[in-house]
Structure 1
């Protein structure tokens, strides 16, 4: 065989080696979710690629079988060329092996694999058409090789069938959403994050605390009740006797304001307009409560603990806020300062503070910033006290006898 023909065969082997190496990388680095999207659009190459990737051990066995064959054949051809060119057989073979190694590394390994990793689809989809019939032809050999491969994997505790999945967990999905800044506005990112958090959030995390509940005490004078109704910023108010634990119902101001100017308006009129109170266990998941509000056509409920004592109040707006963020844009619970610090109302919930400031304060324990500070300090700190709360430096600005009211978060250096 002439040297020209030998060099031609060697070049063909190098090209085939580059194809097998590049296509292996291209198929393995395909975005599985884009691939599924293309399959739904009836992309023929994507369909073939997905079918091959359903059994990746077979595909890898086929590619490596072919690649090793052409590499070994290329080495044999290089040896023959070296013998023909040089009389000293031993040194010529060593030189040929060294040159071939460098050429194959550059032309058949690094270059095609780098290109395939950057743009996998132009190589992966055509290659899928080639590998599909090739797999059928060489299936007995591939099956025999994979038999021993699977046995070896089982020896080290790996079951190929059980570990074949493409499902994303919640944290991975969060990372994808966080990286999608160029594809969607920030507000939509926050909404999607809020939806993902619904699974772990309970009504206790988002409720209005007991001490902040505004309601109507039927033991108060009727004049005070009328004044409260006329000036209330809320459309629904709980009605109770002496204590919120003795609630008798909720009143909708739209109903009562029509009757409030009548001469016979009294407490009995208020009682006649009450809606039945709804009680929610504090451990109820947020997404479950949303379904309950929808099914029972209610918008407000009282959160109770295991003893039946009222711990707070939750509304449909609170649940929606967990998804879309603050419904009122002029909220002053977190105020940015010119020096990069933040003045924060200590009654804010940890979840809301994390969402507004993009922080990661722990949410497993206390629900409010005040509770988190008191738990951390094991006392109610004095005004002017500076601490580093889970990595975030802050200063106590205002407090009263039993709680922290206002803190200043300092810029993190």
Structure 2
């Protein structure tokens, strides 16, 4: 080394700095790889991804070989820089070499390569895997000794290296991932994925048609009235009951009703012969569970009952699918028949409107953990049925009752107020 020329030493020093940059960028690139994209590339037989994935299965060995190589070239570069400095400036050149090499390594072998690797991990990690894999085999005895010592030290602190990190996403993390992927996914696809993820958070009582809005066939009515109702109904399936909905006897499918109309005489007995057995579900059933139940039971409509067995409403397969794909009827959420926009920015809202539907239509966040309708929400907060029109504030929303009758709030006026944070931003 002493007999070598300064030019050859400078060339060797330059090579060692490049090696240091390689190890530094490899470490950052490997650790910055998106594990889910990596698995996708492995399934597609990407050679660089396969090698990188194999190395990442034992991160202790990967880090070991990288740091051994990085420290070796940095120490050797320091020694060579010192020799060059002594040859040029004498003993005082040691301090110059230390300061200069520190700056060079920091800029060209640490910060710059690591920044590039963090921004483009695949472009750095996949080619590096071709070098690191054989290098690990060559240095394996040394890596094994270093890992044995470090892993034993980590065990003293209760850290098990072989367990690895759990890369499974929770529902909330997956929801955040979908929300953040707006530039990759189309808005409709993004909404559908979010709809699927929310199925477990929503129960059938949140989307059911409430009891007072259920259109069914009362067999206690006159036959002419029943036939007139059947001829005008827009529904394909209807509950059949006697006197009240709690005395349901079955579900009538309009397709089966055609068999009755083919007969010369239409009777109540003939209608009862073509009905199906009613299907009951608890009101607390999550939508995801109910969707699977519909599939297993080969059903499309269910009667929702409370803990006392009283029927609270009906839920259909279409209702659940609308939670995923959006409104399937002609009137979409932009055309909600319960919401009437006003020129002053407020909205007239029907008291029976579902809070979740209002939130979806107006992009609001009225509370949904209690009552399901606007009428129920206002009366829960007031703890009484108002005798006259009143105005109140629910979160960021000003609610004014406009029409109260029959122990119900029929219509309200609602308007959103800007929060303090939004006002400061403006």
Q: Classify 1:263/1:368 alpha carbon distance in 2 versus 1 (closer, same or farther; 3 Å).
A: same
Partner of 1:224: 225
Match of 1:116 in 2: 117
Q: Any unmatched runs of 5+ in structure 2? A: 419-426
Give 1:56's match in structure 2, choosing from 33, 55, 59: 59
Q: Does 1:30 align with 2:33?
A: yes
Answering whether residue 379 of structure 2 is matched by residue 378 of structure 1, we say no
Q: Identify the residue that residue 297 of structure 1 maps to in structure 2.
A: 298
Shift in Å, 1:131: 0.6
Counterpart-to-counterpart distance in 1, 2:375 and 2:143: 64
Which TM-score applies when normalising by structure 1? 0.89
Aligned length: 410
**In 1: Cα distance, 2:343 partner to 2:160 partner:** 58
SS in 2 for 1:168: coil
Deviation per CA, 1:279-302: give whole Å up to 9, x if none.
112222323322332333322111
- Please list every run of at least 4 consecutive aligned residues from structure 1 whose deviation after the TM superposition is greater than 6 angstroms: none
Question: In the TM superposition, what whole-angstrom CA distance separates every residue of 1:163-219 from its partner, at most 9, and x where no partner exists?
Answer: 422211112221222223233321221111111122333322221112221212222
The 2-side partners of 1:274 and 1:229 are apart by: 14
| TM, length-normalised to structure 2 | 0.87
> Aligned partners of 2:144, 2:347: CA distance in 1, in Å?
64
Aligned to 1:132: 133
Partner of 2:94: 93
The residue that corresponds to 1:80 in the other structure is: 83
Q: CA 1:232/1:29 → structure 2, altered by over 3 Å: closer, same or farther? A: same
Could you tell me how far 1:346 is from its partner in structure 2? 4.2
Q: Deviations over 1:322-344 (max 9, x none)?
A: 21121114142445556555544
Which residue number in structure 1 is paired with residue 14 of structure 2?
11
2: CA distance, partners of 1:323 / 1:6: 67
SS in structure 2 of the partner of residue 17 of structure 1: helix
**Is it true that 1:182 corresponds to 2:202 in the alignment?**
no
Comparing 296-305 with 250-259, greater Cα deviation is found at: 250-259
Rounded to whole Å, the distance in 2 between the matches of 1:176 and 1:122 is: 23
CA offset at residue 226 of structure 1?
2.6
- CA distance 1:236–1:150, change in 2 (3 Å): same
> Is 1:387 aligned to residue 393 of structure 2?
yes
Cα RMSD over matched residues? Answer: 2.6
1:347 aligns with 2:352: yes
5+ long unaligned stretches in structure 1: none
Q: Is the 8 A contact 1:226 1:260 kept in 2?
A: no
